[in-house]
Amino acid sequence: MYAGIEVDMFSLGNADCILVSFWNGFSVYRVLIDGGNKSDSAIVREFLRSQKIDRIDDLLSTHHHDDHSGGLLGLLADETLKFGKVWSHVPHWHVESVDKVRAAIKAAGSSSEAANIQKSLQTAAEIFNIAKKRGIAHEEPFKGKKLGGLLEVCGPTVEFYEDLVLEFTDADKIRAEDAAQERYETQTQLEETIAKAILGDSDSDSSSLLAEPHTAPENESSVVTGANHQGKIYLFTARTLALVH
């Protein structure tokens, strides 16, 4: 009999989904972290069927960008799949007024960040509403919360999250995110050109020469969880699994 952690990381291109199974003999507790894009839900569901998995004990949305939570909508809507609890932030609850957010998005005009915020708000509301309609328990994943007593939320804190979503009410800060992303992309293109000139056609990895990617507030508020197993700490982020100790 197996007693340990099994991790399945789905190959979904530029999208993310991780299934973590905590085994104790023949008993298993499953946590699904994100669900990829909307079109990926069928791939994830087919894998679950192939493994004869019809229950997810905890479903976690790290943040509400399409490449992480889009697929969760399809999975949640599939009533042949049972869920114990949905863990997902509801940004609407952490701003003074949703009307202020709508006004800021409108004032930001054609901002791509404004469009991202609007889509994230919609996804967050849909996740909550589907869970409510199906009678699935819902909780926000803030630091200190435990998923099944096995996976602990390391961040964000409520205070950190609320400071970030406060930016949703400020049109200038929303537009500033677009400008920061444009600067990062321009800098990256320049540094890639320089890196190629230095490395030539070698197979060496040039990523260490490039700038750190710009991170929008939604990404900065992504949920990080950790599990302590046999004296080793495993961290699960929106994109990776890391062995810390």
Q: Which two tokens stand for residue 16?
A: 């993310």
pTM of the model: 0.86
Class of domain 3-171+221-243: alpha beta
- Is the distance from CB of 52 to CB of 104 less than 8 angstroms? no
Q: How far is CA 229 from the centre of its chain?
A: 23
Q: What is the pLDDT of residue 143?
A: 96
DSSP assignment, residue 201?
T
Coil, strand, or helix at residue 27? strand
The residue count for the chain: 245
Query: Among 234, 213, 232, 212, which residue's Cα sits nearest to residue 224?
Result: 234
Q: What is the pLDDT of residue 210?
A: 46
Question: pLDDT by residue for the chain (245 residues), tens digit each?
Answer: 688 899 999 999 989 999 999 999 999 999 999 999 999 999 999 999 999 999 999 999 999 999 999 999 999 999 999 999 999 999 999 999 999 999 999 999 999 999 999 999 999 999 999 999 999 999 999 999 999 988 999 999 999 999 999 999 999 999 999 888 777 677 767 666 766 666 665 555 544 544 455 455 556 679 999 998 888 888 998 666 665 55
Q: What is the pLDDT of residue 82?
A: 98
Taking CB atoms within 8 Å and a gap of at least 24, the contacts of 195-204 are none
**What is the rounded CA–CA span in Å between residue 167 and residue 164?**
6
Give the neighbor-by-neighbor strand order of the sheet with 3-9.
Answer: 3-9, 18-24, 27-33, 55-60, 82-87, 137-139
Beta bridge partners of 9: 18
DSSP states of 163-213 = HHHGGGG-HHHHHHHHHHHHHHHHHHHHHHHHHHHHHTT-----GGGSPPP
Return the domain boundaries, the chain. Answer: 3-171+221-243
Q: What is the pLDDT of residue 48?
A: 98
Q: What is the pLDDT of residue 38?
A: 96
Q: What is the pLDDT of residue 24?
A: 92
